[in-house]
C-alpha cells in the first residue's frame, strides 16, 4: 500500500476517534450543565417558599408583639380579629404546611364566624363557648409558629442537600 493511503487512513481513524471523544465530552458537559440548572431552579423555588413562610412568620410575630394581654369579655372581638387575621394569612399558603393544621384553622375560623354572626343577629351567645373557642384559637396560633418553623427548617435542609450533593 502506498504511504499516502496509510497516512490518510490513520488520519481518518484519528479524526473519527477525536470526533467520538469530542461528542462524549460535549455530552457529559451538557448533562452537568443541565443538572446545575435544575439545581438552580429547584433552589429558587425552595427559596421562594422560604421567603413566603418567613414573611408570614414575621407578620404574626409583629402582631403578637403589639398585643397586650386580653382577658376580659370586652376583648373577645379584638382577640377573634387578631387570630382570624393570622389564620387567614397562613391559609393563603396552606399548600406549604400540614393539611391537618389547615383543617383545624378552617374549623376554628368557621366556629368564630358563627359566633360573630350570632352576635350580629342579636342571638343569645354562650360566652363560655366563645372563650373556649378563643383559647383553641390561641393554641392553634402557637402551633402555627411551630409549624412554620418546622417547614422552614425542612426547606433549608433541602436547599443544603441540593447544594452539597
Q: Which residue has the cell 366563645?
A: 130
CA distances from 125 to 65, 79, 128, 129 (A): 30, 17, 9, 8
Q: What is the pLDDT of residue 74?
A: 64
Q: What is the pLDDT of residue 31?
A: 92
What number is the average pLDDT over the span 67-90? 71
Q: What is the pLDDT of residue 1?
A: 66
Q: Please say whether the beta carbons of 89 and 56 come within 8 A.
A: yes
Q: Regarding predicted confidence, which is higher, 49 or 72? A: 49
Non-local (6+) Cβ contacts of 85 within 8 A are 63
Q: What is the pLDDT of residue 75?
A: 67
What number is the average pLDDT over the span 19-39? 90
Q: What is the pLDDT of residue 55?
A: 83
Q: What is the pLDDT of residue 29?
A: 92
Q: Regarding predicted confidence, which is higher, 27 or 87? A: 27
Q: What is the pLDDT of residue 26?
A: 92
Amino acid at each position: 500500500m502506498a504511504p499516502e493511503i496509510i497516512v490518510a487512513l490513520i488520519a481518518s481513524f484519528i479524526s473519527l476517534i477525536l470526533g467520538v471523544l469530542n461528542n462524549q465530552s460535549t455530552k457529559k458537559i451538557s448533562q452537568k450543565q443541565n443538572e446545575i440548572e435544575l439545581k438552580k431552579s429547584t433552589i429558587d423555588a425552595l427559596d421562594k417558599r422560604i421567603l413566603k413562610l418567613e414573611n408570614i412568620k414575621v407578620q404574626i410575630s409583629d402582631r403578637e408583639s403589639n398585643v397586650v394581654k386580653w382577658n376580659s369579655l370586652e376583648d373577645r372581638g379584638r382577640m377573634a380579629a387578631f387570630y382570624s387575621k393570622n389564620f387567614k394569612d397562613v391559609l393563603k399558603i396552606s399548600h406549604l404546611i400540614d393539611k391537618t393544621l389547615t383543617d383545624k384553622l378552617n374549623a376554628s375560623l368557621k366556629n368564630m364566624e358563627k359566633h360573630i354572626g350570632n352576635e350580629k343577629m342579636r342571638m343569645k351567645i354562650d360566652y363560655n363557648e366563645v372563650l373556649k373557642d378563643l383559647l383553641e384559637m390561641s393554641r392553634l396560633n402557637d402551633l402555627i409558629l411551630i409549624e412554620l418553623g418546622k417547614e422552614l427548617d425542612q426547606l433549608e435542609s433541602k436547599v443544603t442537600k441540593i447544594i452539597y450533593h
